[in-house]
Amino acid sequence: MELSHRGKLFMGLAQQAEADLRELLAIPGNYAVLFLQGGATQHFAQIPMNLAGEGDSADYVVTGHWGEKAASEARPYVKVNIAASSKDEHYLRLPPRETWQLDPRAAYVHYTPNETIHGVEFHDIPDVGDVPLVADMSSDILSGPLDVSKFGLIYAGAQKNIGPSGLVVLIVRRDLLERAGRPMARIFRYAEHAANDSMLNTPNTWGWYLAGLTFQWLKEQGGLAAMQARNQAKARLLYGAIDGSGGFYRNPVAVASRSRMNVPFTLHDSALDADFLKESEAAGLLALKGHKALGGMRASLYNAVPLEAVQALVAFMADFAKRHG
């Protein structure tokens, strides 16, 4: 943590981290990889600053809380067109592709492949034609293989599948870097960060270093195909336990839209919620309380969660249902 970001030792770690990420995601050479700050939320604003000119519009596909926020933070910088939203259906399913009102002149199409609070996830990359596709992958990056060439820009806050908070990884097709026409400080220009290898100013060196360790760990695990198989097994096990509980537990999301990363579920009687949380915590199963917007429970199955943890959760859930059913 005391190493200079300009020193040989840190520069070596930083370059290795980028090389490992490029290998894991098979990132084509015409994409820049940036290690930035500010959280995904700052980039909700910085993306339109960089990708949209004055007067441009951008299409937003909103499938949950984070998509709403992305659109809202973008509004000072671009005309936001909500091309599709499942809000009226309480975000319980993805809006069918054929209902999207895309504008072929849009500066980009933004979507959120996985929504952590509502537990909905895209299982395919949507086809949006020639308009650059922008994805907030904060909660699902590195959970499986990805065809990066289908995207104009991918960004992710580190704190789910990459490393500690305070770091954002951003992958952007280089031809999009030249778009920014508006006056802004250099520090907000992705092109400047790309030209300076993300060292335009002092980066979050510790976060970058730990991200590099995570990338090495992912390679040791067999890469993203192996992570995908593991994540699918974890999700299958938990959804199976919920769906097979005879109504004691319930996940309300349409089966085809269910997230592999975040599984919200309710108990058939919410009066049991407090007992469930107390007993699960005593059993070493932490942080199962659902987001306050939905209530109930939520299990997050990010890369760092082993299959054994999900097996323990499912066993606890079965036992709890037997005792309280």
Let me know if 88 is a catalytic residue: no
Single-letter amino acid, residue 174: R
C-beta of 258: minimal distance to a copy of itself in Å? 23
Let me know if 136 is a catalytic residue: yes
Cα separation of the two ends of the chain: 52
- Which residue out of 66, 140, 208, 234 is catalytically annotated? 66
Pairwise CA distance, residues 6 & 3, whole Å: 8
C-beta of 282: minimal distance to a copy of itself in Å? 17
Within 213-272, the residues that bind a copy of itself by CB under 8 A are none
The conformation of residue 172, written as its DSSP 8-state character, comes to E
Pick the binder of a copy of itself from 195, 256, 287, 293 (CB under 8 A): 287
Task: Output 11 or 210, the one with its CB closest to a copy of itself.
Answer: 210
According to DSSP, the residues that pair with 59 across neighbouring strands are 81, 109
- Which residue out of 20, 59, 140, 160 is catalytically annotated? 160
Of 74-82, 107-115, 173-181, 276-284, which segment contacts a copy of itself by CB under 8 A?
Answer: 74-82
Quick one: tokens of 227? 């992570």
How many residues touch a copy of itself under the rule CB under 8 A: the total is 42
Residue 305 contacts a copy of itself per CB under 8 A: no
Let me know if 160 is a catalytic residue: yes
Helices (H), 254-306: 273-282
Task: Output 5 or 22, the one with its CB closest to a copy of itself.
Answer: 5
Query: b/e for 259-292, b at 16 or more Cβ within 10 A?
Result: bbbbbbbbbeeeebbeebbebbeeeebeebebee
Pick the binder of a copy of itself from 166, 216, 219, 237 (CB under 8 A): 166
Kindly list the distances between the CA atom of residue 210 and the CA atoms of 28, 137, 144, 145, 216, in Å, as whole numbers in the listed order. Answer: 23, 19, 20, 21, 10
C-beta of 129: minimal distance to a copy of itself in Å? 28
Single-letter amino acid, residue 283: A
Within 180-209, the residues that bind a copy of itself by CB under 8 A are 183-188, 200-207
Query: The dihedral of CA 126, 133, 22, 163: what is its sign?
Result: negative
Pick the binder of a copy of itself from 77, 151, 215, 316 (CB under 8 A): 77
Q: Which residues contact 57 (CB under 8 A, 6 or more apart)?
A: 78, 79, 80, 81, 103, 105, 106, 107
Pick the binder of a copy of itself from 102, 148, 191, 210 (CB under 8 A): 210
Q: Are 281 and 316 in contact (CB under 8 A)?
A: no
Which positions touch a copy of itself (CB under 8 A)?
A: 1-2, 4-5, 7, 37-42, 44-45, 72-74, 76-77, 157, 159, 163-167, 183-188, 200-207, 210, 287, 304
Catalytic residues: 66, 136, 160
